[in-house]
Amino acid sequence: MNSNGASSSATDGVRDSNPPKRNSKRPKYSKFTQQELPACKPILTPAIVITTFALIGIIFIPIGLASLSASERVVEIVDRYDLDCIPEQLRNDQLAFIQSSQTNKTCTRSVIVPRYMKSPVFIYYELDNFYQNHRRYVKSRSDKQLRSKASEQDTSTCAPESISSDGSPIVPCGLIAWSLFNDTYSFSFNNEVLMVNKKNIAWGSDKSHKFGRDVYPKNFQSGQLIGGATLNASIPLSEQEDLIVWMRTAALPTFRKLYGRIEEDLQPNQKITVVIENNYNTYSFGGKKKLVLSTTSWIGGKNDFLGVAYLTVGGLCLFLALVFILLYLFKPRTMGDPSYLSWNRNAAGYAD
């Protein structure tokens, strides 16, 4: 019965191949209109499947190993200080401690360098449970105001921190700027101060285009509630790098922000003394504060995830490739065998 169909389709083609008449509606022949464009028809043949899996494995495993070793080489010191920096007697009322202006918030801690840390050593502060990605927070800023003095009045998006009591605009306005982080760190080793470089910790593009040279802080932190750091009103926003870093709001509720760099190599087992001004209030929402010292590598900071993931996926793919090779060896199937067509295999039962 199949031969019938085949022969008729062949004649169909021939029948209409006579040359077109003048003014005829005959469609013009082109490979495009007849859907006969040269096409690539990828089929998942065993060879292709095995090659694909093997290739993924072969490429992924080295990448995984490389990133894992890079991550291993990164030296990271994490020191949580939010609880320890409250004097014992005040631990029952952390909020009172942090909100009071009378208490001494200076706190001295020491960290030990576990391995050799090549400069630059990056200093981060890490906050936890701080939803910098909350919609109310993210929206509460005015990029126009930050950019130029001319748009100083442009505080409509900044509520509830848009204008001061006398109705003049707050510069920089908005919740983000208001809640600027204000703990400070200073480092010393054997009573010798380790210099912290706080220059160029923000993106150059932000400094040059998003924060104006002619915009100076105004009415900042003048409300009843002080959110965080105050700004030096004589320095333009483009130079206030801590603010610029802070205003690049974090994507996730646990985040790090760059504080500065120590541009000295740190030797193993060095004991570094850190003096922390513990000003920032994370106690009201139970957020942790951590100080992080870290070197860097080509994949960034210390994170094994990429390496492990690449290794796992690569390994899995190699395994699959192996499985398919075995399948192919022990249960081969000829390609293009029409006897596998269901109606061919069951021709007798077909009563048409």
Residues 302 to 341 in contact with another protein, rule: CB under 8 A: 303, 305-306, 309-310, 313, 316-317, 320, 324, 327, 331-333, 335-338, 340-341
Q: Which helix (H) or strand (E) holds 126?
A: strand 121-127
Query: Of 33, 108, 230, 267, which one interacts with another protein (CB under 8 A)?
Result: 33
Largest CA distance in the chain: 104
Query: Of 89, 192, 225, 329, which one interacts with another protein (CB under 8 A)?
Result: 225
Q: Three-state DSSP class for 194?
A: strand
Query: Of 145, 155, 179, 295, which one interacts with another protein (CB under 8 A)?
Result: 179
Q: Which two tokens stand for residue 138?
A: 């993210």
DSSP labels for 87-117?
-GGGGGGHHHHHH-SSS--EEEEEEE--S-B
- What is the closest distance, in whole angstroms, from the C-beta atom of residue 106 to another protein in the complex? 23
- What is the closest distance, in whole angstroms, from the C-beta atom of residue 280 to another protein in the complex? 9
- Cβ proximity to another protein: between 268 and 286 the closer is 286
Hey, what's the torsion of the CAs at 278, 281, 286, 288, to 10 degrees?
A: -40
List binders of another protein among 254-313 (CB under 8 A). 254-258, 281, 284-285, 298-301, 303, 305-306, 309-310, 313
Query: Of 88, 89, 191, 251, which one interacts with another protein (CB under 8 A)?
Result: 251
- What is the closest distance, in whole angstroms, from the C-beta atom of residue 95 to another protein in the complex? 9
- Spatial CA neighbour of 120 closest among 300, 260, 319: 260
CA distance readout (Å), 305 to 77, 235, 295: 18, 41, 18
List binders of another protein among 98-137 (CB under 8 A). 124, 126, 130-137
Query: Of 79, 94, 153, 223, which one interacts with another protein (CB under 8 A)?
Result: 223
Contact between 249 and another protein (CB under 8 A)? yes
Query: Of 61, 67, 121, 229, which one interacts with another protein (CB under 8 A)?
Result: 67
- Cβ proximity to another protein: between 9 and 89 the closer is 9
Is the bond preceding 120 in cis, omega lying within 30 degrees of 0?
yes
Q: Among 46-54, 183-191, 192-200, 232-240, which window interacts with another protein (CB under 8 A)?
A: 46-54
- What is the closest distance, in whole angstroms, from the C-beta atom of residue 291 to another protein in the complex? 13
Contact 337, 93 (CB under 8 A): no
Contact between 65 and another protein (CB under 8 A)? no
- Spatial CA neighbour of 271 closest among 341, 188, 173, 182: 188
Query: Of 94, 103, 153, 164, which one interacts with another protein (CB under 8 A)?
Result: 164
Burial of 120 (0-12, 13-18, 19+ CB in 10 A): middle
Q: Which two tokens stand for residue 34?
A: 């007849």
DSSP labels for 258-327?
EEEEE-S-B-TT-EEEEEEE-----GGGT--EEEEEE--BTTBSS--HHHHHHHHHHHHHHHHHHHHHHH
Contact between 80 and another protein (CB under 8 A)? no
Q: Which two tokens stand for residue 196?
A: 């912290």
Contact between 12 and another protein (CB under 8 A)? yes
Sequence-distant (≥ 6) Cβ neighbours of residue 327 within 8 angstroms: 46
Query: Of 79, 203, 270, 325, which one interacts with another protein (CB under 8 A)?
Result: 203
Contact between 166 and another protein (CB under 8 A)? yes
- What is the closest distance, in whole angstroms, from the C-beta atom of residue 289 to another protein in the complex? 13
Contact between 185 and another protein (CB under 8 A)? no
- Cβ proximity to another protein: between 107 and 138 the closer is 138
Contact between 37 and another protein (CB under 8 A)? yes
- What is the closest distance, in whole angstroms, from the C-beta atom of residue 172 to another protein in the complex? 13
Contact between 52 and another protein (CB under 8 A)? yes
Q: Which two tokens stand for residue 253?
A: 């509720």
